[in-house]
């Protein structure tokens, strides 16, 4: 069979394979041409001769044409193009067919800068042009790659990396960008981002999410994640990360910002989900190897991880009593804490355990009821406050009733008037109110103190429990300070262990008194030792007990300073404080407004007034509706 016959047969399937044409991917001058040296001075004629003349491209067809700064001569099986800058080069077969479709040398490709050449893998063929290339394989056909996408593909290794093009350059759906598809990936381009490649599992994820319509265009090629384990691609509106263990997942928006601020992969690990909607439809979350980040429009994005996350998830996560996180995890006394809409979870280093605080019993506005006002034991058969008064309390704007449920009195080792306690509790809950049972221990018999407090924790009326339990820490019956402190810490630790799911409040002396006005009243108060056992602090900030001469009779100053000092003494700038104000019938509504303003400025979670019988009705509008989450 002659060389020309071979050309004709193979040309019928748009592939030219000539005897001696391809040797290790390099164009070789046919043997017929080597027999006699080509001496033509015209570059097109010279190239035609070097290729084998009519045996390779067939006879000339028509006259030579001038196109721009160059010339072209057509032949039966192809064409030779020439410019002074590019030299003379042949284009034929399927590549020429594609070149003609896009407009030949007058198109965006310009003139050829090489003849048709075999690729290094022996599979494909290509011609380079002034502004691009056309690549061909039997499986893909012939396709154009040009401009910035061509430059990126070549820089990455061309067909050795992304495979051969399977499309020409295409527009994107939004009309902004351009793309070319290859066997193993894509290269996308916009004026703003330049050209970047996306491929493999990351490309599959990006496309599944909506490609540029969701995460925007790629702004990087795929790259290592920094730890030698994973891979990532960055897009205009987010990222997709991949590891063998996690697969490819997207992270974007506020959650991505928070994750990166924490250290990204180095801190929470790789994403193991895309961003997901929460069950209530309000929030969003992404799960990572070592934690989660949750976001809502109201709370922003915050991380939850480790033991605190485990406890939160066990309680229903964002759908539970605590709701969404409002802070990340931070250091507190001997441990770590995360705050949530409805409270906080604290982890203690010494035990490795966590404790949950539900703050709703201590939030908003509250009133106080002592044993002398309601119980038969101390108020007789006609007490000044009865469960029927719950209605008036609710109407006044009271959210929480602080009810003294026991007394450190050997005559009454159990709870006071349990039937009345139950009536208060049931009526309050029916009005959407909360009840905190409280007790004043003398610390002369810690076991008896603990028994009464445990009775409060265990108390039920119609299946309903007290919402929280408070310990009133002010009695000086035990004269020796160190003994008193030791017994107080012992009682507190045992109570915390016995009531792990109860939010405990410490009703404490005002630090302005113990730190400033009378440092001998209760020296060495064990703030730090008590911190692990109580979740809310209630300073008795009764400015009415102070004189004008002392400088502390001002409601705003006294309230604000006591809140600040409680936190300072604890060493916790954001400790949950629910301040107690009052007391007496002579206090004006304006003073309660000052109290509420100070509490708001300090970020106290709640305010309350001692007590119900001595608080004028006109005072309640100043505090009703108090709603501050804390600092």
In terms of Cβ atoms closer than 10 Å to its own Cβ (0-12, 13-18, 19+), residue 97 is middle
DSSP secondary structure letter of residue 317: G
Between 30 and 338, whose confidence is greater? Answer: 338
For residue 117, count other CB atoms closer than 10 A to its CB.
17
pLDDT at 334: 84
282 pLDDT more than 60 = yes
Grade residue 71 by pLDDT with cuts at 50, 70 and 90.
very high
Q: What is the mean pLDDT of residues 206-228?
A: 97
Mind listing the pLDDT tens digit for each residue in 535-574?
999 999 999 999 999 999 999 999 999 999 999 999 999 9
Cβ-contact 49, 33 below 8 angstroms = yes
Longest dimension (CA), the chain: 133
CA distance 617 to 413: 35
Each residue's pLDDT tens digit, 257-267: 999 999 999 99
User: For residues 27 and 170, which has the higher predicted lDDT (pLDDT)?
Assistant: 170
Answer for the pair 469, 438: CB distance below 8 angstroms, yes or no. Answer: yes
Alpha-carbon distance of 315 to 320, in angstroms, equals: 6
For 290-299, what is each residue's pLDDT tens digit? 999 999 999 9
- Exposure on the CB side of residue 315, measured as CA atoms within 13 A: 23
> Taking the model in full, what pTM does it have?
0.88
pLDDT band at 9 (very low <50, low <70, confident <90, very high): very low
Mean pLDDT of the chain: 93
Region 429-456: mean pLDDT is 98
Element (H, E) at 436: strand 434-439
Question: What string of DSSP letters covers 387-405?
Answer: GGGHHHHHHHT--EEEEE-
Q: Would you say how long the chain is, in residues?
A: 631
Tokens linked to 346: 């604290």
Give 349-377 pLDDT, tens digit per residue.
999 999 999 999 999 999 999 999 999 99
Task: Give the span between the Cα atoms of 312 and 548, in whole angstroms.
Answer: 48
Q: Which domains does the chain have, with CATH numbers?
A: 43-118 (no CATH), 139-244 (no CATH), 251-343 (no CATH), 364-622 (3.20.20.80)
Q: What is the percent of the chain with per-residue pLDDT over 90, rounded to a whole number?
A: 93
7 band by pLDDT with thresholds 50, 70 and 90: very low
- What percentage of the chain has pLDDT greater than the value 70? 94
Q: Does residue 32 surpass a pLDDT of 60? A: no
Residue 181 to residue 197: CA distance in whole angstroms: 10
Among the ranges given (88-92, 129-133, 384-388, 583-587), the one the predictor scored with the smallest mean pLDDT = 583-587
- pLDDT of res. 333: 86
Q: How far is CA 382 from CA 4, 13, 374, 376, 386, in A?
A: 123, 110, 8, 8, 9
Which pLDDT score is estimated for 13? 31
The pLDDT of residue 36 is 63
Q: What is the mean pLDDT of residues 225-242?
A: 97
- Token representation of residue 520: 């001998």
Q: E strand or H helix at 335, and its extent?
A: strand 335-340
Per-residue pLDDT of 136-192, as tens digits, reads: 999 999 999 999 999 999 999 999 999 999 999 999 999 999 999 999 999 999 999
Query: What confidence score (pLDDT) does residue 17 get?
Result: 35
Mean pLDDT along residues 500-515 = 98
Cβ neighbours, 10 Å, residue 625: 12
Q: Identify the band that residue 76 occupies on the pLDDT scale cut at 50, 70 and 90.
A: very high
At residue 630, the pLDDT reads 78
pLDDT of residue 25: 34
Name the pLDDT band for 631 (thresholds 50, 70, 90).
confident
Q: What are phi and psi of 307, to 5 degrees?
A: -65, -35
State mean pLDDT over 234-238: 98
Q: Are 397 and 620 in contact (CB under 8 A)?
A: yes
């Amino acid at each position: 069979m002659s060389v020309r016959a071979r050309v004709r047969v193979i040309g019928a399937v748009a592939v030219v394979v000539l005897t001696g044409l391809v040797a290790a991917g390099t164009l070789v001058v046919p043997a017929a041409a080597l027999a006699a040296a080509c001496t033509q001075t015209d570059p097109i004629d010279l190239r035609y001769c070097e290729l084998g003349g009519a045996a390779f491209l067939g006879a000339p067809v028509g006259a030579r044409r001038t196109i721009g700064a160059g010339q072209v001569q057509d032949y039966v099986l192809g064409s030779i193009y020439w410019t002074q800058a590019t030299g003379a080069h042949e284009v034929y077969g399927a590549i020429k067919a594609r070149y003609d479709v896009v407009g030949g040398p007058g198109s965006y490709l310009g003139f050829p800068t090489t003849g048709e050449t075999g690729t290094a893998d022996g599979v494909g063929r290509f011609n380079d042009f002034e502004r691009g290339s056309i690549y061909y394989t039997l499986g893909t056909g012939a396709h154009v790659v040009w401009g910035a996408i061509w430059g990126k593909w070549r820089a990455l290794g061309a067909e050795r990396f992304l495979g051969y093009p399977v499309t020409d350059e295409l527009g994107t759906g939004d009309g902004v960008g351009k793309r070319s598809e290859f066997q193993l990936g894509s290269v996308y381009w916009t004026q703003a981002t330049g050209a970047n490649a996306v491929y493999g599992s990351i490309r599959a994820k990006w496309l599944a999410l909506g490609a540029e319509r969701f995460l925007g265009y790629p702004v990087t090629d795929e790259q290592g994640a920094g730890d030698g384990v994973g891979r990532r691609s960055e897009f205009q509106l987010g990222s997709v990360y991949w590891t063998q263990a996690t697969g490819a997942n997207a992270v974007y928006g506020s959650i991505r910002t928070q994750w990166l601020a924490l250290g990204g992969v180095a801190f929470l690990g790789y994403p193991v989900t895309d961003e997901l909607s929460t069950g209530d439809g309000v929030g969003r979350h992404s799960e990572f190897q070592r934690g989660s980040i949750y976001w809502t429009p109201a709370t922003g994005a915050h991380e939850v991880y480790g033991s605190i996350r485990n406890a939160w998830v066990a309680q229903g996560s964002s759908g539970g009593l605590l709701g969404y996180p409002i802070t990340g995890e931070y250091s507190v006394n001997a441990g770590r804490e995360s705050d949530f809409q409805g409270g906080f979870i604290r982890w203690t280093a010494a035990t490795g355990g966590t404790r949950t605080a539900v703050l709703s019993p201590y939030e908003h506005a509250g009133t106080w009821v002592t044993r002398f006002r309601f119980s038969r034991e101390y108020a007789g058969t006609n007490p000044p406050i009865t469960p029927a008064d719950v209605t008036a309390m609710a109407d006044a704007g009271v959210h929480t009733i602080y009810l003294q449920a026991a007394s450190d009195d050997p005559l009454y080792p159990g709870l006071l008037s349990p039937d009345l306690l139950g009536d208060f509790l049931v009526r309050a809950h029916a009005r959407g109110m909360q009840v905190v049972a409280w007790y004043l221990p003398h610390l002369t018999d810690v076991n008896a103190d603990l028994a009464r407090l445990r009775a409060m924790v265990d108390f039920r009326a119609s299946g309903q429990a007290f919402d929280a339990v408070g310990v009133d820490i002010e009695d000086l019956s035990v004269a020796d300070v160190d003994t008193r402190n030791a017994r107080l810490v012992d009682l507190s630790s045992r109570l915390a262990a016995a009531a792990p799911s109860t939010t405990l409040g410490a009703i404490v002396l005002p630090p302005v008194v113990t730190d400033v006005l009378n440092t001998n009243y209760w020296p060495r108060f064990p703030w730090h030792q008590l911190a692990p056992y109580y979740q809310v602090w209630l300073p008795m900030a009764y400015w009415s007990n102070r004189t004008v001469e002392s400088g502390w009779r001002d409601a705003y100053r006294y309230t604000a300073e006591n809140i600040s000092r409680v936190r300072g003494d604890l060493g916790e700038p954001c400790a949950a404080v629910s301040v107690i104000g009052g007391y007496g019938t002579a206090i004006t509504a304006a003073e309660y407004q000052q109290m509420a303003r100070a509490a708001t400025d300090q970020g106290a979670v709640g305010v309350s007034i001692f007590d119900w019988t001595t608080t004028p009705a006109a005072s309640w509008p100043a505090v009703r509706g108090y709603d501050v989450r804390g600092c």
